[in-house]
Structure 1
Amino acid sequence: MLEEVAVVLVVLILTIRFIYRWQSGRCSSEATLDGKTVIITGASAGELKAFTGRRAGRVCLIPWWKVRGMEGGLEVGDVRVEVRHLDTSDLTSVRKFAKRILEDERSLHVLINNAGMMGCPKREVTQDGLELTMATNYYGHFLLTNLLLGLMKKSSPGRIIALTSSDHSYVNKLNPDSLNFEREHYSSRTAYGQTSLCNILFSVELASKLEGTGVTANSVHPGCVHTEFFYKGKVTLFSWICRKLYLLMGKDVQLGAQPTIYLAVSQEVEDVSGQYFVDCQVAKTSELARQKKLAKQVWEATEVDVKLQPEEKHY
């Protein structure tokens, strides 16, 4: 009896795995990033290979949030990759990283805000007074994008891509005055869902500020992908379950990178901005994520939280 149950379970898992991967979106564009400069935050080795393997750009700058003090260059196919230190949860680190980019680079064409972590089991606060999950997944990218926006506008056309998640729909309310859960109930999943929602709202408001500049801003949910993401930070029961399910039935890194590659290179979306993508297609968000007034309120609150200075604004 147990053997029969095991066989049925294995068949079910393999079937779901096959169907999910078969129907997943793929980038069919043959466009490349030759001569372009790209920044990908939080890129793992697998994601790096998936992105550069087919899209040979002049330079890819890959800050790997997990690596402390690792700097230097390496070759990945025809691409020169610079690995630089960046901790998106630390605003000082973000400002130092951006300063060096502005000193060293003459252009920037694609910025992929990819670094992230699951929500912490308990609320933790960074040295900047920000909730750790929000700081890592959202605040750091908000600041980094603003600091590099001037360079991107000079290098136009350009594309800004924010990684997010379908978990944004888990959040049914958002208080711009309590983004760090100062007065709101905290849970691991709520924290992660809120970062996903904020990244979508950030892209919506950023797109409106970039109208007419040639620089677009979109958000993308890569799907259920088994990456190093689930091995960062402290493990919760929810993240442990997700890690096992994604390993058995989710996308591999190559397939999971397709939606991001699509937004980075496809000519179909060169003029598309302020949209949310899933499997290389525009998808519907939650009702909260479509509120432009809320997007503006969250932006203004975030400027205060990251202490964005007048000289750091380029919109």
Structure 2
Amino acid sequence: MNNDLEMRHLTDHTLVVTGASSGIGAAAARRFRQLGATVAVVGRSPGRTAAVAAEIGADPHLVDFSRLDDVRRLADELLARYPRIDVLANNAGGLFFSRKTTPDGHEMTFQVNYLAPFLLTNLLLDRLAEAPQGARVINTVSAFYRKGRLDLDDLDRTRGRYSTMQAYYSAKLATVIFTLELSRRMHGSNVVASAFHPGIVASDIYRDKAIIRILAASPLGKIMQSTPEQGAEPLLYLATTPDPATVDGAFFHRSSRAELENAQAGDPDLAARLYQRSAELAGLLSASRE
């Protein structure tokens, strides 16, 4: 991984980091501020989001990804506050250990990990495209996307027996597919898109299950996990690498660019149809950006 991040300052750049109240997002927000960037600290927890923002001298922005109206409110807030957005880091996510339905009627894992970030990205896309030095959309995913499978007629997983992990795998697969499709759609513009797997990182992702949260925080659990700072390294690299074209449409496994290992991830027809279906589910007026 690039060890010269200090050499490329981000003065005059604005970076929006979701999931920034803890874990990878908070670690990345701190480093981006050290590099001179204006950082929008976006989080779910009022107290922790405010604490991280106060620590680094940034503005806190709250959002509940289980409510698409709140995502729209956040987008309006960000557009009103920041006349320039150079990087959108879609880092927020969650692992839910029972089937839950959002107020919008979607399966919780699908909406929080995929549909809400998809909506936020599209609502900020025009502002990103105006960034004078080009803009980057960076999606935090998981290597478990390899085990995912998407059925466009059942994205909310209402058919058959519900599986917590399959819901998570498939949401991450959808994010990988979205990343590649966004790269294709924005080809020739100022916006590039990439995704990365940070490794197994000590984070708040297990907040929905007390026993796993306790185990993850145990001495043995910590040995088996990377620190948030280590997990944030690929995000820092993708946000600061001098030539964004070199990472456009790329998937990184920690520090290395990696080939896709799921047939659906590389299916351009599925990607186009997923984008269209996602736009419909998110209530976007137009899914077309050719």
In the TM superposition, residue 44 of structure 1 has moved relative to its aligned partner by 3.1
Correspondence 1:247 to 2:222: yes
Counterpart Cα distance in 2 of 1:183 and 1:236:
28
| Superposed displacement of residue 32, structure 1 | 2.1
Q: How does 1:1-150 map to 2 (within 5 A)?
A: 25=1, 27-29=3-5, 30-45=7-22, 47=24, 48-53=26-31, 55-67=34-46, 74-76=54-56, 80-118=57-95, 120-150=96-126
TM-superposed deviation, 1:242: 6.0
Shift of 1:68: 7.4
Q: Which structure 1 residue ranges, 5 or more long, are not aligned?
A: 1-24
Q: Is 1:261 aligned to 2:240, yes or no?
A: no
Q: Alignment partner of 1:178: what SS? A: coil
How does the TM-score come out when normalised to structure 2? 0.88
Where 1:260 maps in the other structure, the secondary structure is helix
C-alpha distance in structure 2 between counterparts of 1:295 and 1:222, whole Å: 23
Tell me the CA shift for residue 217 of structure 1: 0.5
Q: Deviations over 1:95-118 (max 9, x none)?
A: 001011112211100000000111
Contact 1:121 1:235 in 2 (8 A): no
Counterpart secondary structure, 2:101: coil
Tell me how far apart the structure 1 counterparts of residues 235 and 172 of structure 2 sit (CA, whole Å): 16
Tell me the equivalent position of 1:14.
Answer: none
Q: Specify the code of the residue in structure 1 equivalent to 2:188.
A: G
Query: RMSD between aligned alpha carbons?
Result: 2.5
Distance 1:46 1:128, change over 3 A: closer
Q: What are structure 2's unaligned runs of at least 5 residues?
A: none
Q: CA deviation at 1:270?
A: 4.3
SS of the aligned residue for 1:305 comes to: helix
Q: Distance in 2 between matches of 1:214 and 1:193?
A: 30
CA gap 1:58/1:68 in 2 versus in 1, 3 angstroms:
same
Larger Rg: 1
Paired residues of 2:234 and 2:252 also in contact (CA < 8 A): yes
Instruction: Please tell me whether the aligned partners of residues 168 and 193 of structure 1 are also in contact (alpha carbons under 8 angstroms).
Output: yes
Deviations 1:46-68 (A, max 9, x none): 54244433642341001112337
Using the aligned pairs only, state the percent identity.
Answer: 28
